[in-house]
Structure 1
């Protein structure tokens, strides 16, 4: 068989339509696996974005309403009454403060009571921040690893292209181009998965930082209510709230 005929035969086996879908179908099994993994990573990124955005929006609104209620209160008991029946981080802060006041009812040292209340509230605030941060770690993982996974698919695809060139014993561009295009598609998918993940992760980092600041302000307001009650000589809030 002449060289021209060999080139014609090789070209006949090449995909005529170099659309992304056809390049995916024509790719090596390893490159296909890389592409599928990157596509799934992209789906995970947008799923986390939707779920976490809704969670953060609802949590901030509920926190803002609860903070407005306790900010207008003159005592811890009044704040507990205003938030009666509600759930959330502010209600939990008030309950913890009430529990500590109940446990320290026979302690004369006001400063020690304030320190213990502050310690309890700080622990709860930190736990709430960690809970809200849950799920964002996968975005950091996708953003940092997807380009390298895509690069692995590209290297593997180009390696197979070079093997095909060696077997065909030709450097005809019609033989080389499809394999290289399929390989580069893996890198493109890696970037498509990584770039939104990094942007969304940074956005959530800022929003969660703001949420933590709101919790810290709510905790400080509860501590002010406790200090006010102690200065007035009121150490025990209603037993029903302290027992929760």
Structure 2
């Protein structure tokens, strides 16, 4: 490669833009950049979806607790919720009440083992709700942990390409080295742009999920105690 041609092909400082750096990058570096950009878009889609989901879940839990502790009949509350697709605490309530009603409607099930069955139903319902809340969080963790290294791979590849250009041109001028290094570092920057929001969002929503699980488990314990007292009263009558 002729050093004069390299110097002529170098972009003026005013024309060095992110778009130009992308198009001037090596094919492998372009693939890295495109992959990291796609990962960033994917992570932001998950972040927006999770923000809406957790916000809706908190609101539904608050509304259900207000209704549940308002003194409304359990039968009326069950009828109003069973017709729909309840989530959160409402899903736990409907599942436990369904098991309760089956045991008292002549299905032949033992009343003595009903508290254990209700506890089991509540545990399964909590597990299902947590799977719904925690779905795709692993994607955020994967992007957050791997994106910087993928970007670093693009950087290393770009720097190797720059060194090969230096060896071919036998010219160590900054005009020869700088464009390739800038393109390479651009890959690292994209990796960080993809990783940082994903890591922050993963930690945030893991904490939100833990809070939601604590509230679900607390309600399950309280509701199980309420049903256990009613079972004891019925068996004593």
Report the TM-score range of the alignment, normalised by the length of the smaller protein: 0.7 to 0.9
- In structure 1, the partner of 2:99 is 100
Runs of 4+ in 1 over 3 A off after TM superposition: 72-76, 81-86, 102-106
Residues 78-93 of structure 1 mapped to structure 2, 5 A cutoff? 79-81=77-79, 83=81, 85=83, 87-93=86-92
- In structure 1, the partner of 2:124 is 123
CA pair 11-103 structure 1, distance change in 2 beyond 3 A: same
- Establish whether residue 10 from structure 1 lines up as the match of residue 6 from structure 2: yes
- In structure 2, the partner of 1:39 is 37
Unaligned stretches of 5+ in structure 2? none
- In structure 2, the partner of 1:196 is 197
- In structure 2, the partner of 1:242 is none
- Establish whether residue 132 from structure 1 lines up as the match of residue 133 from structure 2: yes
- In structure 1, the partner of 2:49 is 51
| TM-score, normalization by structure 2 | 0.87
Secondary structure of the 2:215 match is: helix
Aligned length, in residue pairs: 228
Inter-partner Cα distance in structure 2 for 1:72 and 1:220: 18
| TM-score, normalization by structure 1 | 0.85
**How many angstroms does 1:173 deviate by?**
1.2
Unaligned stretches of 5+ in structure 1? 1-5, 236-244
**How many angstroms does 1:108 deviate by?**
5.0
CA pair 96-78 structure 1, distance change in 2 beyond 3 A: same
Secondary structure of the 2:222 match is: helix
Residues 143-162 of structure 1 mapped to structure 2, 5 A cutoff? 143-162=144-163
